[in-house]
Structure 1
Amino acid sequence: MQSRNTVRAIKERLNIVDIVRRYVELKRNGARWTAPCPFHQETKPSFFVNEEQGQFYCFGCQASGDIFEFFSKINGLNFKETLEQLAAEAGVSLERSSGSHRDREQADKPLFSRRQMLRMYETAAAHFAAALKKQDAAQCRAYIEKRGLDKAIVQRFGLGWASREWGALAETLRRTGFDAHFSVDAGLLNRSAKGHVFDRFRGRLIFPIKNLANQVIAFGGRIITLEEDEAKYINSADTPIYKKGEHLYGLSQARRGIAANGRALLTEGYIDVLTLHQFGYDNAVGVLGTALTPEQLKRLSGFTSEFTLLFDGDRAGRKAAFRSCEMMLARGLNCNVALMPDGEDIDSLLRKKGVQTFETLQKHAPDGLRFCIDVLKALAPRETVEWAKIFLRHLLLPELLSPYISRLATHLQLSESVLREGLADWHDQNRPARKAQGANSSDEKLTRQTMRDKQIMMYAVRYPDRLEDLRSLGADMALQSATARSLWEKIEEWGEEAHFHLDEQEKILWSLYRGAEAAPRDNGDKELESLSSHLNTYYDFSQKTSVSAVLRQNTGTGDFASDLDYLRALQKTLERGNG
């Protein structure tokens, strides 16, 4: 874990307002700044930034946090990536773990390789973009013009040309100082059986693939004449900076459009994404030639829970749409399915029949469950029941069971009792696993626990650096709810950085206790004194319980510290007995 001093230094050097205004248009409102929230669809300024406290909060979607949370959420980065980028911007050196010089060198190698690869891909992207303007790219430019892609889209998405020469990119990388062996590891060059290296992409229109930090991490390449005896598309192989099943084409360019529209358009092809953006649908992304994966969906759902699936109307397109619907519905996400008419794809539909036809297609698109039901009607009754039971077992949100069962039973003419058969037992058996994934039942939420838990965790959230003071009062032992104990453990492990590791319910509490609208954190001693009084009252009351009766019988000194030591020992004994 990085030193808290490093995080503090970054916050001191970077102003949250300067960072936020890169993504939204902030307006001053008294001591705060306001704007429409970039994380959900709206026009009213429910998004507030408190410059003095370095916090943001949205009253609409409850998104909240500090400069790290904002930068992480808006760019889809994890904490380590956020820390690295903000540290570089702030001019703060990141601390390395202790150990021998050799150990530190070994630990730095993956990070060094990653940075080198990113620079290499930036060089390659510039090489391909420059090649598109050269004379031997005339056929590629003609293809781009034929597909109706304008210069603004070509520039925005950084399209390029990989010449037919075997070593054009290899020579550029060599002149730039990149080692050929490393270029092979990065997936930009291939190696022959005799050990010679050559360009992986040749004679293709190049589509750069970017991460959410707007860095090029991979390429897709398309042949420009179908007569060529090669695969129509080839893509970068997996590398330390790119895993095909985790990224989506165009998400870097579409993230603002998704936030503004509150919905993502999900399609398959590179050209389809480009065409949609050119026609004003700047919330469109592509799945990079694979079936939609849980990792891609997790990345997308960080921006929205509403989706429209745009797939071809052929058998392959319907199958892809069905599988995508299953995955989205099981996670509680909303989706509609707009299949292209026979003989049309997104590109041809928009260019030949216009935006109005495309809008009508979306307007009449069935919701995901209805689409699945229509597909299931073609199956035998036994297969339908089997699918329905498997689907219902994989729902991550138990509250969806009843409405889904009702709709499936009604439209498939099945008995609800048949669908419910065995579900209760199955969910009971798998409840511990779901809890481990954060799906705690509603009666375990911290907001429904005792006032004592709330008082303790309020202080812990507001002053995570004073957890030891709380422990000296026995606060950790007074916690009753599983959620409170989980939150305590995360604060204990991560300190000020804990909010990057919280589930949604815990984030709401974090914001409530120390967000932009919370009371100033300037009187920790007085708040601790008040909490101490409450805990003393609790322990006085506990003397009347059976456990405290044992405590009283074995001590009887009236020494609170000694009593607390005994209570800790007793608790460990009880835990061993229950283990």
Structure 2
Amino acid sequence: MQSKDAIRAIKERMNIVDVVRRYVELRRNGPRWVAPCPFHQETKPSFSVNEEQGLFYCFGCHASGDIFDFYSRINGLDFKETLEQLAAESGITIDRGPNNARQQGEERERRSSRQQMLRMYELAAGHFAATLNGPDGEECRAYIEKRGLSQEIVQRFGIGWAKREWQSLADALRRAGFDARMAVESGLLGQSGNGRAYDRFRGRLIFPIKSLSNQIIAFGGRIIADEEEAKYINSADTPIYKKGEHLYGLAQARKGMVTKGRVLLTEGYMDVLTLHQFGYDNAVGVLGTALTPEQIKRLSGFVSQLTLLFDGDRAGRKAALRSCEMLLTRGLSCSVVLMPEGEDIDSLLRGAGPEAFETLQAQAPDGLRFCVDVLKALAPRETVEWARNFLRQVEIPELVSPYVSRLAGQLQLSEADLREGLVQSRGSRPDKARAETGGAPSGNARQNIRDREVMMYAVRYPQRLADMQEMGADLALQSPIARQLWDKIETHGPEAVFHQLDQREKNFWCKCCGPEAAPRDDGDKELESLRHYLNNYYASAQKSSLSAALRANTGTGDFEADLDYLRALKETLEKGHEQS
């Protein structure tokens, strides 16, 4: 099937309630199903699913959408990954769209290569685990015992050992029938100058890295003796792995994150393992990089609150500051736990115990407070520049005003200066800027109400767009946002449009059609109400236009034109009176 047809077929074959039930305990409440929201921490059943319409909505965090949005958000997947997984569950094959035999062959080859790489990684993980438990793994087992890792954690995370030999894994892959060139391409093997493949991971404790589909896609490796080599090496980017998109332990931490409503984000493999061993099963680690937007996107599919665990040195504080900026500007909440000097989370938990860690968490400043504390060490000019740059990046307009107020108060800056700087930097019109920064409402309020009335009907009854066009509803739209939503409905049609919407549009759609919206059982009556509303608007608009024309013509000596305008204005007023 083409993607559009596959979307429709999946919705026909899969019930959103059945999918949501995999992750939350739904209970029936009249025509809908309710539960505590899986996307933020709460106990009240603010999360609602409308089975008939196939939509969900949370009245707490405003998460909303259909079966695809829920599945992608709960699993941290993008739409393409979600479509592929739900299609596989539904027994649907998606046509990728190549238009000739060569392209089709290339697509099949890519898929085949990907599957072979995943099988190679599965074999490699088994090879490393077997080596750890065999006679050659005694050295590594002693190291694991010294580090205090339990057998349960070793098994849950699939920890292994790569022997110091150059051909151990290469031979295992060859015996299984895998091509050495593909093993090099997948990052499992290196290649010498003479073209011979060799084991890339040698003499290292191995940490398998899993995708959210629980497939092994990469490895991290740590030396266990005093050797003159890099302490850690990680898989390079491959066709199945992009390190800036994944997090260590995410597959294992998914349930803990959803249950606790928060994630503990740390830097090292060992830190993640120790946290899980001490009961913090919502811990994940970045993979040898600074926190990336792609990683944030994955995490935000599970939680909206993060606790950052960083070293207390200068580098740790700098990394924490940058991470806070990225999280706060995207609307996520965070706090920052800085380890005491000379400690990391592993040494802290094993030395001072969980009580000390709990105390640090209780004392941890929220993300914006932490940023302010760091900024106080800067020169005043640098502080103002940071604050303005931070505010420019905020993606959610509703957050701008509270951020401005907090930064101004805590940094002892002028709130007016920050707002003015924000207006200038965004190139906003004064009306728009006042709305974004919490000032008085603009003169466009009536226009926004009119656009909302029109689009509410268009969203509730998208199959009746032709009736709306006949009465000129589309011509009444003024805001770019409303016109864009109308164009999407008109272009993609009622069935396929939902997956062309951005998040703001999806939220509006779910408010109009979701679990708590009015029943859509009287479209004719609602259309007639909209017609009356628009007639009044056009009559008012014509009156204003004629009055302006009359004023402009006054004094020109054209009395016939004056009389024509006056007659038209009288007819307009009489017509408006009849309609009202």
Do the structures match in fold with TM over 0.5? yes
Q: Secondary structure at the match of 1:221?
A: strand
Report Cα offsets for 1:494-520 as digits up to 9, x if no partner.
Answer: 554544453443222111222234456
Residue identity opposite 2:13 in structure 1: R
Alpha-carbon distance between aligned partners in 2 of 1:421 and 1:22, rounded to the nearest angstrom: 46
Q: 2:474 aligns with which of 466, 473, 476?
A: 476
The residue that corresponds to 1:162 in the other structure is: 162
The residue that corresponds to 1:198 in the other structure is: 198
Alpha-carbon distance between aligned partners in 1 of 2:73 and 2:471, rounded to the nearest angstrom: 36
Q: Secondary structure at the match of 2:141?
A: helix
Alpha-carbon distance between aligned partners in 2 of 1:345 and 1:392, rounded to the nearest angstrom: 32
Residue identity opposite 2:367 in structure 1: G
Change (3 A) 1:382 1:460: closer
Report Cα offsets for 1:372-409 as digits up to 9, x if no partner.
Answer: 34334444455545544544544445665665566556
Q: CA contact under 8 A between 1:338 and 1:365: conserved in structure 2?
A: yes
Change (3 A) 1:391 1:537: closer
Alpha-carbon distance between aligned partners in 1 of 2:217 and 2:446, rounded to the nearest angstrom: 45
For residues 386-425 of structure 1, the aligned pairs below 5 Å read: 386-396=385-395, 404=403, 415-416=413-414, 420=418, 423-424=421-422
Alpha-carbon distance between aligned partners in 2 of 1:533 and 1:115, rounded to the nearest angstrom: 60
Q: CA contact under 8 A between 2:206 and 2:220: conserved in structure 1?
A: yes
Q: Which moved more, 1:122-131 or 1:214-223?
A: 122-131
When the two chains are superposed, the root-mean-square deviation of aligned CA atoms in Å is 3.8
Alpha-carbon distance between aligned partners in 2 of 1:222 and 1:232, rounded to the nearest angstrom: 6
The residue that corresponds to 1:207 in the other structure is: 207
- Following superposition, the deviation at residue 32 of structure 1 comes to 4.0
1:117 is aligned to 2:106: no
Residue identity opposite 1:288 in structure 2: L
Q: CA contact under 8 A between 1:266 and 1:307: conserved in structure 2?
A: yes
Q: Secondary structure at the match of 1:132?
A: helix
Q: Secondary structure at the match of 1:343?
A: coil
Q: Which moved more, 1:77-86 or 1:104-113?
A: 104-113
TM-score, normalisation: structure 2: 0.82
The residue that corresponds to 1:514 in the other structure is: 513
Change (3 A) 1:322 1:537: closer
Q: Calculate percent identity across the aligned residue pairs.
A: 66
- Following superposition, the deviation at residue 316 of structure 1 comes to 2.4
The residue that corresponds to 1:374 in the other structure is: 373
Q: Which moved more, 1:365-374 or 1:63-72?
A: 365-374
Q: CA contact under 8 A between 1:16 and 1:67: conserved in structure 2?
A: yes
Residue identity opposite 1:292 in structure 2: L
1:230 is aligned to 2:203: no
Q: CA contact under 8 A between 1:405 and 1:416: conserved in structure 2?
A: no
Change (3 A) 1:471 1:107: farther
Change (3 A) 1:180 1:529: farther
Q: Secondary structure at the match of 2:233?
A: strand
Alpha-carbon distance between aligned partners in 1 of 2:98 and 2:440, rounded to the nearest angstrom: 43
The residue that corresponds to 1:81 in the other structure is: 81
For residues 482-501 of structure 1, the aligned pairs below 5 Å read: 482-492=480-490, 494-495=492-493, 496-501=495-500
- Following superposition, the deviation at residue 415 of structure 1 comes to 4.8
Change (3 A) 1:404 1:484: closer
Q: Which moved more, 1:248-257 or 1:340-349?
A: 248-257
Q: Secondary structure at the match of 1:317?
A: helix
Report Cα offsets for 1:72-114 as digits up to 9, x if no partner.
Answer: 1111112211111111111112134262222333355544444
Q: CA contact under 8 A between 2:489 and 2:497: conserved in structure 1?
A: yes
Q: 2:455 aligns with which of 454, 457, 474?
A: 457
1:15 is aligned to 2:15: yes
Q: Secondary structure at the match of 1:71?
A: helix
TM-score, normalisation: structure 1: 0.82
Alpha-carbon distance between aligned partners in 2 of 1:119 and 1:284, rounded to the nearest angstrom: 27
Residue identity opposite 2:427 in structure 1: Q
- Following superposition, the deviation at residue 18 of structure 1 comes to 2.8
The residue that corresponds to 1:187 in the other structure is: 187
Alpha-carbon distance between aligned partners in 2 of 1:4 and 1:58, rounded to the nearest angstrom: 27
- Following superposition, the deviation at residue 10 of structure 1 comes to 1.7
1:336 is aligned to 2:335: yes
Q: Secondary structure at the match of 2:133?
A: coil
Residue identity opposite 1:461 in structure 2: V
Report Cα offsets for 1:260-303 as digits up to 9, x if no partner.
Answer: 33322211111111111221222222111222223322332333
Which of these two proteins has the greater Rg computed from alpha carbons? 2
Q: CA contact under 8 A between 1:38 and 1:256: conserved in structure 2?
A: no
Alpha-carbon distance between aligned partners in 2 of 1:393 and 1:146, rounded to the nearest angstrom: 49
The residue that corresponds to 2:251 in the other structure is: 252
- Following superposition, the deviation at residue 419 of structure 1 comes to 5.7
Alpha-carbon distance between aligned partners in 1 of 2:319 and 2:409, rounded to the nearest angstrom: 25
- Following superposition, the deviation at residue 192 of structure 1 comes to 0.9
- Following superposition, the deviation at residue 3 of structure 1 comes to 4.6
Alpha-carbon distance between aligned partners in 2 of 1:447 and 1:219, rounded to the nearest angstrom: 55
1:299 is aligned to 2:276: no
Alpha-carbon distance between aligned partners in 1 of 2:275 and 2:535, rounded to the nearest angstrom: 64
Q: CA contact under 8 A between 1:389 and 1:419: conserved in structure 2?
A: no
Change (3 A) 1:98 1:417: closer
In structure 1, the gaps of 5 or more residues are 551-579
Change (3 A) 1:395 1:478: closer
Q: Which moved more, 1:262-271 or 1:137-146?
A: 137-146
Report Cα offsets for 1:118-157 as digits up to 9, x if no partner.
Answer: 3333333333333332221222222222222222222222
In structure 2, the gaps of 5 or more residues are 550-580
Alpha-carbon distance between aligned partners in 1 of 2:181 and 2:189, rounded to the nearest angstrom: 9
Report Cα offsets for 1:403-427 as digits up to 9, x if no partner.
Answer: 5566556555x55279649714532
Alpha-carbon distance between aligned partners in 2 of 1:206 and 1:462, rounded to the nearest angstrom: 54
Residue identity opposite 1:291 in structure 2: A
Change (3 A) 1:300 1:98: closer
Q: Secondary structure at the match of 1:218?
A: strand
Alpha-carbon distance between aligned partners in 1 of 2:230 and 2:126, rounded to the nearest angstrom: 24
Q: Secondary structure at the match of 2:353?
A: helix
The residue that corresponds to 1:41 in the other structure is: 41
For residues 273-352 of structure 1, the aligned pairs below 5 Å read: 273-352=272-351
Q: Secondary structure at the match of 2:352?
A: helix
The residue that corresponds to 1:364 in the other structure is: 363
Q: CA contact under 8 A between 1:385 and 1:419: conserved in structure 2?
A: no
The residue that corresponds to 1:71 in the other structure is: 71
- Following superposition, the deviation at residue 318 of structure 1 comes to 2.3
- Following superposition, the deviation at residue 359 of structure 1 comes to 0.6
